């Protein structure tokens, strides 16, 4: 499907220069001379190569058609992570480098994820928006820091370090946003 060059948004996958690229960042620029353009930071899906390109609104770009399917995370074996298709029960193994270490830390046994497929091969994973994790260690509250909203460092059961409010202690289950690893609220279970 062809789209205008200025319609590219972060997260979109496009076909450019014979490869699949994911838009990481976009910035509209209108210089003093000449026409406006969209500066796009692209990351090649297979190799991870980065590229900065300028697209004008008059240019047409091929947006890749992706199939999104629900998979369940089963287990990790070293650098390989196995997922099962929820409909066909087929299993697929994906390498850590392909998924990204910032995503791997949030995978939990039995978690449902969305895997993007292009021509039958996986090209990306989308985690749920939030997960529930347990705080295993949290710093003590420093007296006198209550004048403004303050946060203290804590470590989750998956090893991720986040900032939590002073009332959260070790053993507390919290809701964490997977996009940026920030504390949302105390879990309601």
pLDDT band at 40 (very low <50, low <70, confident <90, very high): very high
Q: What residue ranges define each of the domains in the chain, with the CATH number in brackets?
A: 2-63 (2.30.30.30), 67-126 (2.40.50.140), 130-186 (2.40.50.140)
Are 150 and 163 in contact, with CB atoms under 8 Å apart?
A: no
- Give pLDDT tens digits for 107-146: 888 999 998 888 888 888 888 989 999 999 988 776 665 5
DSSP state of 147: S
For the chain, give percent helix, strand, coil, nearest 5: 5, 50, 40
- Give pLDDT tens digits for 15-24: 998 888 888 8
Selection from 120, 84, 119, 114 nearest residue 99 by Cα: 114
Give the 3-state secondary structure of residue 118.
strand
Selection from 104, 118, 127 nearest residue 44 by Cα: 118
């Amino acid at each position: 499907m062809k789209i205008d060059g200025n319609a590219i948004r972060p997260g979109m996958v496009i076909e450019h220069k014979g490869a699949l690229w994911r838009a990481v960042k976009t910035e509209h620029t209108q210089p003093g001379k000449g026409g406006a353009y969209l500066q796009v930071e692209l990351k090649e899906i297979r190799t991870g190569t980065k590229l900065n390109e300028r697209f004008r609104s008059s240019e047409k770009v091929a947006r890749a058609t992706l199939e999104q399917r629900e998979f369940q995370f089963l287990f990790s074996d070293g650098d390989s992570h196995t997922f099962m298709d929820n409909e066909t029960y087929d299993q697929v193994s994906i390498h850590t480098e392909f998924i990204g270490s910032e995503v791997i830390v949030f995978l939990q046994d039995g978690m449902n994820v969305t895997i993007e497929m292009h021509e039958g091969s996986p090209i990306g994973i989308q985690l749920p928006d939030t997960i529930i994790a347990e705080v295993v260690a949290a710093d003590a509250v420093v007296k006198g820091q209550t004048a403004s909203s303050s946060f203290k460092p804590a470590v989750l059961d998956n090893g991720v370090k986040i900032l939590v409010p002073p009332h959260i202690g070790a053993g507390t289950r919290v809701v964490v946003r997977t996009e940026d690893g920030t504390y949302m609220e105390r879990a309601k279970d």
